Copies of this chain bind each other. A is one copy, B any other.
Amino acid sequence: MTIKQESVSLEDAQRVIAAGQAKAAEIGSPSNVAVVDAGGNLVSHIRMDHAWVGSIDISINKAFTARAFDIATKDLAENAQPGAQFYGIQNSNHGRVMIFAGGIPLRQDGQVVGAVGVSGGTGEQDQTVAEAAAAAF
Contact = CB atoms under 8 A, between A and B. Distances in A.
Interface of A: 1-14, 37-50, 52-58, 61, 64-65, 67-70, 77, 80-83, 85-95, 97-101, 108, 113, 122-124
7 contacts: A3-B49, A39-B39, A41-B56, A53-B67, A55-B68, A87-B99, A91-B97
Which applies to chain A's interface (DSSP): helix, strand, loop or mixed? mixed
A61 B92 CA distance: 8
A122 B47 CA distance: 28
Given A10-B49, A54-B65, A81-B83, 13 more contacts: A2-B8, A2-B12, A2-B108, A5-B7, A40-B53, A43-B47, A52-B70, A53-B67, A54-B92, A55-B68, A80-B87, A81-B82, A88-B100
